[in-house]
Amino acid sequence: MSDDKTETLKKLPLDSWHRSLGARMVPFAGYEMPVQYEGVMAEHLWTRENAGLFDVSHMGQVQLMGEGVAEALEAIVPGNISALGAGKIRYTLLLAQDGGILDDLMVTNTGRNLYLVVNGATKHDDIAYFKAQLPDHVTLDHMEDQALLALQGPKAGEALAKLEIGPMQPDWPVPTDLYFMEAGPFMWGDIPLGISRSGYTGEDGFEISVPAEHAEKLAAALCALDEVKPIGLGARDSLRLEAGLPLYGHDMDADILPVEANLNFALSKARREQGNFGGADRVLAQYPNKAGKKRVGLFVNGRQPIREGAVVVDTDGNSIGAVTSGGFSPTLQKPIAMAYVPMALSDTGTEIIVEQRGKPIACTVADMPFVPHNYHRKPKL
Amino acid sequence: MSRYFTDEHEWVDVEGDTATVGITDYAQEQLGDIVFVETPEVGASLEQGDDAAVVESVKAASDVYAAVSGEVVEVNEALEEEPALVNSSAEEDGWFFRVTLSDKSELDDLMDEKAYKAFVDQL
């Protein structure tokens, strides 16, 4: 995470709206952001049962344009971007020349260009890296005048339908026609919205890119619905942890390779065969299971949560790994965590010891996601 | 019985030589949903300012310091089963531990209820 203390904190477009709803604001990724409204536990459970509205405007929205833009992006990400159909989204990784993970990102083929959503804490570094690595004829637009809202939860579709958001063209789909990892342009009255069926909570849901000047109107209209409440960063973190989703700067960083991070699914077959992406030699040398360590899920035996920074130890007390995210699962009512452990200890059911504040705590390697995903997937034909 | 407060948001009830320690309602409100409390061992000897307990919310762990020096004579075992007692009754049923005071003069440095309220109001 970036050092928030030394820089001036920026305000989100919805800053005053969050405060008017009683949000507690904290520094995160260079912004003052709402960490909670009524409480993390209640907000978390609300999202799992209804729909929560998250302000993720701190994240970077970037458009890449120009001839051959997909092939140009493929030089630095391992995802199969040139095969991505119009209106489809792919999760991929921005890789350094040595294969270390610089960021994780969503790439959408809008049909005319590529639309990227990158992490808030890394967006300025990402943009500098894109500018340095992409050919000159690819132009980059950092869409700083757009806010980004995430509506997440099993009632997200039902709620969004009530806003009567229309298609951009009469014969185009409406937002609820989208399946998981699909996106399109829409109109809400005379306000243009870019909507994708995606998110980072494990639930069905949408991410909505809206001009910042209209963000408050949209957020208020959504939160006026019975199904929707505003949800803070605290619950966003516990939701994504239950969903087994890694968080950049915590569960992965520039010292971690994709296979170690258990992100093999982001290394598409065609790209593995071509091998022409950032750090491919080093990345592929670990594929599919030749890394020395692996990101795994942990159940904690007992009720005490283990946190980022706790150390995985062997029977002699030597450090052999680290916890990178940890907390209490409101859905399961017990502590869960993610950690890097030696490959030999990465199988589900393996018992390991984590040391926290000098105290050994027994844990068991667990399957992820901890809570099943509830995505609105396209039915298989 | 007299009640004292620290600027770390603990309260101390003193009855004879025994002090009961917990965190204030303001502190539990700041911490949010409490899911685990690690209390000190009975028999442990605490110096004022030592780490005495850990309170875990959904998201983060927070240290609780020893408001006064003394030997731990009892811990609130109810917190093991029901840590949320700290949220629902921070200044009564959600107490953390009891000590036998080793230096009653330490109480002179603590705030009374009125002073603590004024302290919280300016935060």
The predicted-structure confidence for A331-346, as pLDDT tens digits, reads as follows 999 999 999 999 999 9
Residue A246: per-residue pLDDT: 98
The answer for residues whose C-beta is within 8 angstroms of residue A252's C-beta and 6 or more apart is: A101, A104, A246, A261, A263, A295
Would you say A286 and A257 are in contact if contact means Cβ atoms under 8 Å apart? Answer: yes
pLDDT value, residue A7: 62
A60-93 per-position pLDDT tens digit: 999 999 999 999 999 999 999 999 999 999 999 9
Distance separating alpha carbons of residues A33 and A18, to the nearest angstrom? 9
Q: Strand runs (DSSP E) across A203-303, as ranges?
A: 205-211, 228-230, 293-300
Maximum Cα–Cα distance for chain B, whole Å? Answer: 38
User: Percent of chain A having pLDDT more than 90?
Assistant: 97
What residues have CB less than 8 Å from B81, skipping those under 6 apart? none
What value does the mean pLDDT take over residues B92-100? 97
pTM: 0.94
Contact A14, A216 (CB under 8 A): yes
The answer to whether residues B11 and B24 touch, using CB atoms and an 8 Å cutoff, is: yes
Q: B residues 89-118 near A, CB within 8 Å?
A: none
pLDDT at A5 over 60: no
Nearest CA-CA partner of B47 in B2, B109, B98, B103: B103
Q: Is residue A3 over pLDDT 50?
A: no
Question: What's the pLDDT at B1?
Answer: 75
Q: Which residues of A touch B58 (CB under 8 A)?
A: 40-41, 44, 234, 238, 327-328, 330
Predicted confidence (pLDDT) per residue in B54-68, tens digit: 999 987 899 999 999
Instruction: Give the residue from A46, A303, A323, A334 with the most B CB atoms within 10 Å of its CB, the best one to mutate.
Output: A303
Give CA–CA dist A293/A329, Å, rounded: 25
The answer to whether residues A163 and A229 touch, using CB atoms and an 8 Å cutoff, is no
* Partner residue facing A238 (CB), from B56, B59, B83: B59
| pLDDT at residue A19, rounded to an integer | 97
β-pair type (A31-36, A24-28) = antiparallel
**SS3 state at A74:** helix
pLDDT at residue number A2: 43
pLDDT on residue A381:
74
What are the residues facing A34 on neighbouring strands?
Answer: A25
pLDDT in tens, A120-153: 999 999 999 999 999 999 999 999 999 999 999 9
Q: CB contact, 8 Å: A16 with chain B? A: no
Average of pLDDT values for B84-106?
97
Q: Please name the residue of chain B whose CA is at the shortest distance from the CA of residue A44.
A: B58
* Predicted pLDDT at B56: 96
CB atoms within 10 A of CB A296: 26
Cβ neighbours of B78 in A, within 8 Å: none
Contact of B11 with B21, CB cutoff 8 Å = yes
Interface test with A, best of B58, B80, B85 (most A CBs within 10 A): B58
Does the structure show a pLDDT above 60 at A6? no
Nearest to B32 among A40, A304, A357 (CB): A40
Q: Tell me the mean pLDDT in the region B38-45.
A: 96
**Is a pLDDT exceeding 50 seen at residue A1?**
no
Residues from chain A that touch B77, judged by Cβ atoms under 8 A, are none
